[in-house]
Amino acid sequence: MNETMLAGRLDVGTGTFEVKEVPVPVPGPGFVRVKVQAAGVCLSDVHLIQGLLKPMHLQGDEVTLGHEVSGSVDLTGDGVEGWTTGDRVVLQAGYEYRGVTLTMGVDYDGGWAEYVVVPAGVLVPLSAGFSYEQAAIIPDAVSTPWASIVSTGRVRPAEAVGVWGVGGLGAHGVQLLRMIGAAPIVAVDPLPEARERALAFGADVALDPLADDFAASMAAATAGRGLDVAFDFAGVDAVRAQAVACLGRQGRLVLVGLSGTPITISDSTAFSYTRKQVRGHYGSEAHHVPELVALTELGRLDFSRSISDTLPLRDAATAVERLERKEGNPIRLVLVP
């Protein structure tokens, strides 16, 4: 095989991103080299390039981006058992090493490349008919809202749930909430296209947060009880304030979107009196991706509508610009080497 490959590399010091030739990685003991078939473009990748997010455990100044990856096993390192060349896989977005969680495409080289090397333990098998493009977005774009719903939010059937931000995470959040029986599902987004998407994905009501009658519309949607659970998928301070105000007694706000700014409770006495809660959420756990793969293979989930477009790996910078500008209001753009 060629000794070099294309990879989308970020210099975290200068913020320079470039698709360039780099050496093909070789798997060490316990690691596997995967031939990348598809890799999702996430807003976190945009934030890394912008410098809003910084790797915490990166060795060196450069990293290959990409934490949503599917492909096929290409080469196994010493000691790896149970995997053979050609096996179809999707990769967990990270792993724990000596008590530290390392994220692919952030703390070590990710999948915006022709090949990626990962620990064998992050591989999740895919059936022969599973779309590589749909599989690639399950880690993060789908597993993050799934984990926030079933683990952090602990949503139960027939609970009233609000979803703020119907982008790459929120759109899947609506779909997943519908599957587990949340009702009503109230989607909140200032963009008309996003509200239409929310209704298509299973929301019962879609509201404009800037509308004069927003509070009355939310009260009508929840029969005056308020929300049992609210999800902030946007990471915006104004969203959090509005979502807290929409919670009913013992309602819980789950923070999925990251803002990096302080959380302010305007009326802490009322917040305590009504026993509301704020819960932080980040990523997903190891069992969530296999759960979602199984649910998709059984026909419970379909992510074909989530792939807004595919682009060749060499056009990764274009994909980043399109996502940053929200051109076409994409759910997920996918790179194909």
Which pLDDT tens digit goes with each residue over 100-126?
A: 889 999 999 999 999 999 999 999 999
Q: Specify the range with the lowest mean pLDDT, choosing from 38-47, 245-254, 322-331.
A: 322-331
Per-residue buried b or exposed e for 83-108, using 16+ beta carbons within 10 Å of the residue's own CB:
beeebbbbbbbbbeeeeeebbbbbbb
Residue 153 has pLDDT above 70, yes or no: yes
Q: What is the pLDDT of residues 48-75, one digit of tens each?
A: 999 888 899 999 999 999 999 999 999 9
Residue 300 corresponds to which amino acid? R
Asked if residues 206 and 187 have their Cβ atoms less than 8 Å apart, the reply is yes
Residue 1 confidence (pLDDT): 62
Asked if residues 63 and 25 have their Cβ atoms less than 8 Å apart, the reply is no
Q: Mean pLDDT score of the chain, rounded to an integer?
A: 94
Percentage, residues of the chain above pLDDT 70: 99
Q: CA 170 to CA 163: how far, in whole Å?
A: 7
Instruction: Output the 3-class SS for 38-97.
Output: EEEECHHHHHHHHCCCCCCCCCCCEEECCCCEEEEEEEECCCCCCCCCCCEEEECCEEEE
Residue 181 confidence (pLDDT): 97
Indicate the pTM of the whole model. 0.91
Residue 215 has pLDDT above 70, yes or no: yes
Q: CA 302 to CA 295: how far, in whole Å?
A: 9
Q: What is the pLDDT of residues 161-188, one digit of tens each?
A: 999 999 889 999 999 999 999 999 999 9
Asked if residues 72 and 89 have their Cβ atoms less than 8 Å apart, the reply is yes
Which residue from 133, 135, 67 is spatially nearest to 295, judged by alpha carbons? 135
Which band of pLDDT confidence, cut at 50, 70 and 90, is reported for residue 264? confident
Work out the average pLDDT over 244-266. 91
Work out the average pLDDT over 135-159. 96
Residue 98 confidence (pLDDT): 87
Beta strand pairing call for 227-232 and 247-255: parallel
Which band of pLDDT confidence, cut at 50, 70 and 90, is reported for residue 263? confident
Work out the average pLDDT over 204-220. 97
Quickly list DSSP for 176-233.
Answer: HHHHHT-SSEEEE-S-HHHHHHHHHHT-SEEE-TTSTTHHHHHHHHTTTS-EEEEEE-
Asked if residues 172 and 140 have their Cβ atoms less than 8 Å apart, the reply is no
